[in-house]
Amino acid sequence: MPFARILSFLLFLTLFSGQIHAEQPKFVEARLFSPVTATGKADVVNLGLQLKLQSGWDTYWRTPGDAGLPPDLDFKGSENLKSFSLQYPVPHRLTIAGLDNNVYVGEVVFPLAVTLAAPGAALNVKLKLGLLVCNEICVPEKHELTFTLPAGEAMPSADAALYEAALEKLPRTVMEGYSFTNSHLETDAQKTFLVVEAQMAGEPSRDADLFVEHSSGTAFGKPAITFDAATGKTVFRIEPHTSEAPDKLAKDLGTGDLTLTFVDKGIGFEGKTQLNAAPDTAPRPMSVPAKLKEKITSLDIGILLGALLGGLILNLMPCVLPVLSLKVLSVVSHGGRDSRGKIFKSFMASAFGVLVSFWIMAGALVAAKAAGSTIGWGIQFQHPGFLIFLIAVLLLFAVNMWGLFEIPLPRFIAKHAAAKHENEPTITGHFLTGAFAALLETPCTAPFLGTAVGFALSRGAYEIFLIFTFLGLGLALPYIALAISPKVFRLMPKPGKWMITLRKVLAVVLLATAVWLGSVLFRVSAEPALDAGWQQFDEALIAPAVAEGKTVVVDVTADWCLTCKANKKFVLDQDDVKAALSAPNILLLQADYTQQDDVTAQYLGSFGRYGIPFNVVYGPAAPQGIALPELLTKKAVIDALNAAAGE
């Protein structure tokens, strides 16, 4: 496929990405039933909880995986119910963008064993059921179910067959020919694996899976399975989804049992093991290129493509405006005069400058994470020193464009930031332009970028550097495209006096950007200010307001976040949205992230987010919150308000 067609396709996805996240949430049909007609004389009676999910939607197992929430059951208010035990059918693994989730789709029935306080008496059940259901977005749901089982002789009910079918989908704890015999950790260069050995009656199918649970909460990926027909021994090799060092991981998993659920063709076997010492095998030495290749292989290709696309979309975000002058200057400086080789070198230098900026950011984030500091996308704009540096460089570029250098500059900067000729930056100048443009565009969070950054910052150094490399490649794609196919420059006018005027206009744009950053610098040192109608964010206010039947809207914003400003101007401040947000049953909470704030950072992290803008809507039908896309649309906001309110 020609490069131009690929670029057009990516731009098409960009234009419609906001609509992908704005679908109206759908709900699950839930009910309680019993396989018997009455309580009989036993201490324990059986019930069933049936969920019917609409097509394309899923909900979570008792151990959700990398993300999600298990079902939440509250039987307060029930009569004659002493205790209960919920049994979980075998789950299905759903892998999206490198994240493994353990889910149910279609229809699922959970068997319930209820111990009666007074055997023989009637049972009146009141259940408040909390679920998280997901498709393109995740919607928390709350169902209030009631069920009465009268006193009397227990006879099979009309739902007895449904209950028996549900029992068949539970994992067996005893199965002839099946047992887990050993589990240990193995470290291969920079990667650690959990290795589980089992005795199987036959060779597992290609669709077989193993779900691992531990009290530490560590999530695990899909296993690689090998089978020895001669001995019946099956080995599962599973990568933990954690950035912990091997010794720390071994310490965590060495406390308590590992619960293992083997699933093959809908049949499950469940057992427990304890972590044993690893076999005495030395790790194979691995070169740096081999390590990088292994990391790329282990990451879901969707994460890397998402990072690439997210970086590309940054070129279309509001943050592009302050650096537009730098990109325009890079283009017009050639003016159709230069050779193809010179054009290629200059634009590849700009692309390399973008990449170096992303590597510097990745290194800083890795160091900050290792030191236990709060990390996130764009948080460097919370630091006065970084803002002062940007303002100084902007002034340098502006003065350079104006053709004046009254301010003494360090010899290296003056040599390379200045042009060889009147309108021609050096190769190093092009490199610095790309590097600086990348720094100026990082306040924005774009579609796809949030997922990639969130995934990277939750992992280790290799993943952070690899994903940030793809982000940088995405942002640099326009430079790379121009370097490879510079035919556009043949259509441009030759350099002349007109460029002097253009450079002065662009210098004014850079000066305006410096003034804006100066205002951000002032706000970083001042008290946070809230938009009209919004209250100061306090997470403790959310649950009581939702309990009163209110809808709560949370807006995490910052003065340095231009996407936040665009969302406010083109969506939140529009008359129809503003009217919806002004309803008396709506509480508006705003968190100003202009300054460093660990509380806000932790709140973002609870949703797996590391950058802003971030908006979430809570309500009686969505007590866990509905997260909105980075680029807001009126439909996304209104739909979330209605869904959270249960309308």
At 411 the pLDDT is 45
Q: Which of 438, 434, 433, 472 is nearest to 452 (CA)?
A: 472
Q: What is the pLDDT of residues 141-188, one digit of tens each?
A: 889 999 999 999 999 999 999 999 999 999 998 888 889 988 999 887
Buried b (16+ CB within 10 A) or exposed e, 102-132: bbbeeebbbbbebebeebeeebebbbebbbb
User: What is the enclosing helix (H) or strand (E) of 196?
Assistant: strand 191-199
Quote the tokens at residue 472: 């940088």
Q: Place 417 in a pLDDT band, splitting at 50, 70 and 90.
A: very low
What pLDDT score was predicted for residue 449? 56
> Does the pLDDT at position 423 exceed 80?
no
Query: SS3 for 502?
Result: helix
pLDDT for the residue numbered 113? 93
Q: What was the pLDDT predicted at 392? A: 74
Structural domain for 233, as ranges: 179-273
Query: What residue has token string 């400086």?
Result: 333
Q: Is 602 exposed, middle or buried (0-12, 13-18, 19+ CB in 10 A)?
A: exposed
Residue type, 306: G
Rounded-to-integer distance, Cα 289 and Cα 275, Å: 32
Are 128 and 156 in a shared domain? yes
Mean pLDDT of the chain: 77
The reply to whether 539 and 579 lie within a common domain is: yes
Greater pLDDT, 176 or 522: 176
Instruction: Evaluate if residue 235 carries a pLDDT over 90.
Output: yes
Confidence (pLDDT) at 151? 95
- 318 with 562: CB under 8 angstroms? yes
Which of 239, 273, 307 lies at the terminal end of a domain, its last residue? 273
> Around Cβ 197, how many Cβ atoms within 10 Å?
16
Whether the pLDDT of residue 376 is over 60: the answer is no
Sign of CA dihedral 118, 124, 130, 136: positive
Residue at 606 is within a domain: yes
pLDDT value at position 81? 95
| CA gap 574, 590 in Å, rounded | 18
437 assigned to some structural domain? yes
- Do 141 and 30 sit in the same domain of this protein? yes
Angle at 438 between CA 432 and CA 439, to 5 degrees: 90
For residue 574, being part of any structural domain is answered with yes
Could you identify the residue written with the tokens 């890079």? 330
Instruction: Return the percentage of the chain with pLDDT > 70, whole number.
Output: 66
Alpha-carbon distance of 176 to 179, in angstroms, equals 8
What pLDDT score was predicted for residue 18?
36
In this model, does residue 287 exceed pLDDT 50?
no
> What is the pLDDT at residue 189?
60
Strand, coil or helix: what is 451? helix
Question: What tokens does 70 get?
Answer: 């298990």
Classify residue 315 as exposed, middle or buried by CB count within 10 Å of its CB (0-12, 13-18, 19+).
Answer: buried
Q: Do 455 and 369 fall into the same domain?
A: yes
279 occurs within a structural domain: no
Query: 525 in a domain, yes or no?
Result: no
Which of 25-39, 508-522, 572-586 is predicted with the least confidence, judged by mean pLDDT?
508-522
DSSP state of 493: P
pLDDT at residue 8, as a whole number: 36
Task: State the pTM of this model.
Answer: 0.46
Do 199 and 317 reside in the same domain of the chain? no
Question: What's the token pair of residue 330?
Answer: 């890079």
Pair of tokens at residue 56: 């394309």
Mean pLDDT of 16-40: 69
Domain containing residue 563: CATH number: 3.40.30.10
Nearest C-alpha neighbor of 238 from the set 270, 183, 193: 193
Same domain? For 246 and 375 the reply is no
Gap between the Cα atoms of 107 and 38, Å rounded: 26
Q: What is the mean pLDDT of residues 223-247?
A: 86
Whole-number Å distance between alpha carbons of 140 and 609: 18
Q: Span 46-69, mean pLDDT?
A: 90
- Using a 10 angstrom Cβ sphere, with 0-12 exposed, 13-18 middle and 19 or more buried, the burial of residue 180 is buried
H or E segment to which residue 21 belongs? none
Asked if residue 127 has pLDDT above 90, the reply is yes
Average pLDDT of span 39-46? 93
284 assigned to some structural domain: no
Residue 155 confidence (pLDDT): 94
Predicted local confidence at residue 5, as pLDDT: 33
Give residue 62's pLDDT band: very low, low, confident or very high (50, 70, 90).
very high
> Would you state the pLDDT for residue 307?
75
Confidence check: pLDDT of 59 > 50: yes
In a shared domain, residues 162 and 261:
no
Is the domain of 146 the same as that of 183?
A: no
Of all residues in the chain, what percent carry a pLDDT higher than 90? 29
User: Coil, strand or helix: which one is 148?
Assistant: strand
Residues 6+ apart with CB under 8 A from 489: 331, 334, 335, 336, 338, 343
The SS3 assignment for 334 reads coil
Which residues are bridge partners to 172 per DSSP? Answer: 269
Model confidence at 23, pLDDT cuts 50, 70, 90, reads: very low
Q: Which range among 47-51, 221-225, 404-408 shows the weakest confidence by mean pLDDT?
A: 404-408
Domain presence at residue 6: no
Q: For the chain, what is the domain count? A: 4
Least trusted range by pLDDT, from 235-239, 347-351, 396-400, 514-518? 396-400
pLDDT for 89-110, tens place per residue? 999 998 876 778 899 999 999 9
List of E strands, 538-621? 551-557, 586-592, 614-619
Q: Per DSSP, what are the bridge partners of residue 188? A: 191
Q: Specify the pLDDT at position 32.
A: 97
pLDDT at residue 324 is higher than 90: no
| Res 114: pLDDT | 94
More confident residue, 72 or 254: 72
State which of 461, 485, 520 marks the end of a domain.
520
Q: Which of 42-46, 116-120, 268-272, 444-448 is least confident?
A: 444-448
Give kind and range of the element (H or E) at residue 608. none
Residue 588: pLDDT band (50, 70, 90) is very high
Same domain, 29 and 126: yes
5 found inside a domain: no
CB 465 within 8 A of CB 360: no
Of 520, 543, 572, which marks where a domain is finished?
A: 520
CATH at residue 63? 2.60.40
Please write the tens of the pLDDT for every residue from 305-317: 777 877 777 676 5
557 forms beta bridges with 592
How many Å apart are CA 377 and CA 156, to the nearest integer?
Answer: 59
Can you tell me the distance from the alpha carbon of 300 to that of 466, in angstroms, rounded to the nearest whole number? 12
Flag whether pLDDT at 236 surpasses 80. yes
More confident residue, 513 or 211: 211
pLDDT single digits (tens) 336-359: 555 566 777 777 888 888 888 888
The sign of the dihedral angle between the CA atoms of 58, 61, 67, 68 is positive
140 and 34 within one domain: yes
With a CB cutoff of 8 Å and minimum separation 6, the contacts of 5 are none
- Assign 420 a pLDDT band (cuts: 50, 70, 90): very low
Averaging pLDDT over each range in 216-220, 491-495, 635-639, which range is the top one? 635-639
Among 13-22, 191-200, 599-608, name the one with the lowest average pLDDT: 13-22
State the Cα–Cα distance between residues 293 and 283, nearest whole angstrom. Answer: 17
Q: Stretch 384-405: mean pLDDT, rounded?
A: 66
Burial of 411 (0-12, 13-18, 19+ CB in 10 A): exposed
For 594-641, the pLDDT digits (tens) are: 777 778 877 887 776 667 788 999 999 888 888 888 778 899 899 899
DSSP track, 212-260: EE-TT--EE-PPEEEEETTTTEEEEEE-EE----HHHHHHHHTSSPEEE
299 pLDDT band, cuts 50/70/90, is low
Q: What is the mean pLDDT of residues 122-149?
A: 89
pLDDT reported for residue 97:
65
**Size (the chain), residues:** 647
Residues 6+ apart with CB under 8 A from 389: none
Residue 324 and residue 256 share a domain: no
Reduced to 3 states (helix: H, G, I; strand: E, B; else coil), residue 490 is helix
**Strand partners for 124:** 79, 148
- pLDDT value of position 339: 57
Q: What is the pLDDT of residue 616?
A: 93
Lowest mean pLDDT among 117-131, 266-280, 623-637: 266-280
| Burial profile 453-471: b = 16 or more Cβ within 10 angstroms, e = fewer | bbbbbbbbbbbbbbbbbbb
Q: Are 365 and 319 within one domain? A: yes
Q: Do the Cβ atoms of 419 and 429 come closer than 8 Å?
A: yes
pLDDT reported for residue 265: 85
